[in-house]
Structure 1
Amino acid sequence: MIYQINDLVKSRDYRCRPYEYQIENSFMVTSENYVLGYKASLIQGVTPGQIRERMEKLNPDRFRVRKFGVSDVIVTSVGGKTQSYYVNPKELIKFNGFFTKLPNGEYLLLNEESYQVEGQKGTWMVTDEKTIDEQRFVLMVSEQKPDLLPSIVVQSDGKFMTTTSGGFDNATVRKVRELLHHEKFLENGTAERARESGTEQNYNMIDGCVNNVPKKPRVIGGRVSVLDRLHIKQAERARKDNAQVQQQERTRKN
């Protein structure tokens, strides 16, 4: 299968630039900006390089967008495993992460290399995995600068979580749990109220702001608590909202 970058994207977007530019500047090559330009059965024994040679000889009208060339993506599927190759001027660059979801339904396979991670430069290899609060996370190392860049922790859907120099140590697991708690609160808005109900003197005091919130975020395990920062901001926002409501009420009565 040959995927060709959308002409509208190509005329104004970074994704049409050579793959080295993505390596250097953390831009991703993803299927969202491509269309399926050509599809054919894969002949056994034919290499991706030979596919490229054949595609370059085909007439332009055989493709959906334009003639096959640099910035396109060759995708092969053998035995249920899909592999992507970016067409560079001089060579084909193997990479993972072109599609949102892998064919077998899993994300980020252990010991698999050449993954792209949004917001992170270069390509990455999965070296470890761990289940935290019933969710799967993977540890990834940079393939271009393994000794210079810290490892990263990524959710099973490819979302970046945090960096780490100690793998899945206690500090990293604690940081991931704090981030998960933050995400849960943002999703339903009820996590803080449940937490508050166990700390207020009585239910009449529940006002969206936990009493005894620290004035400054604590340092836990050598790192500033993300959860404390969230609580402090929520408390400040609740005080401002309450003050505004009270002012509106006084204005209404007058």
Structure 2
Amino acid sequence: MDVNQFAVYQLKNIPENRQIRFRPYSALQEKGIQIQYEDYEQVYLARMQPEDEPGEIRKRFNEKLPRTFHGHSISVSDVLVLNKGGVVTSYYVEKDGFTVIAGFIRISSSGTLVSLDTTDFHIKGKEGKWLAFDSIIIEGRQFFLMEHETYGKEVAWVVLDEEGKLVVDHAYHGFDQSVQQQIKDYLNPPQLTAEPQNQEISGGHIQMQSSNAMDKPPLENWQKYMENGEYLRSSEIDEEQNYNMIDGRRNNMSPKGKNGRVSVLAKLRRKQAEIAKRSVKPAQQMEMAEDMERRRK
């Protein structure tokens, strides 16, 4: 069944079921009669609200049966199977109320080691022998409540999966909400999230950079050329005076154009520097002449 659905099971109309039909669960237990899925047939299947309970479903059906219901009104010996949030629970219908029964819906597989018939089972890390006395189906997997054969309720119960793996240790109140949550955590372990990466757009392509790359200190110009493997690096090392002068230009020469000629802008700047240098000389000469004149006086 899908999540948040319920089904109604009623005994098959065969002679073998006469001693079971309309009998309370306690009377069947006294005679050693087990409630088995094979003796029943599904007469109804439908969706349900998460807050629906067996009593509400029974009351609603006693007032009016759905048109797709293929059976008699809900009575003693019927079984309601509720799947709420992936947790499957079976309820035996009594005259007043319900009795939760284990193992009505079973997931059988040739590879399973544990079932409700399991006894004398050895659990890894535990002493003694254990037997299964209750089960629950969660998210399509069956889990079993195990009890110590010698000490019984004097020691805490444990929960195993079909393969005999320990899922919950120290269960004191059966399949309560705490145990069910631990089973769900076992089925859905937390996923490890990778560290966020920073995106860098280069040449029209998005490149991913890890956080470790962003933690590097900024590089000087000469360090960038050393790291990038600039072809001028080796020649600059021989000619420049200091490493901080390694900047991609040999001997700090002015950059040249693509055809090897000095750019017009570079020529203009040199000319401006020469003019400024010449304009300073007359001012310096006048200042020196005035100084000499003052000394004579």
TM-score by length of 2: 0.36
TM-score by length of 1: 0.41
Larger Rg: 2
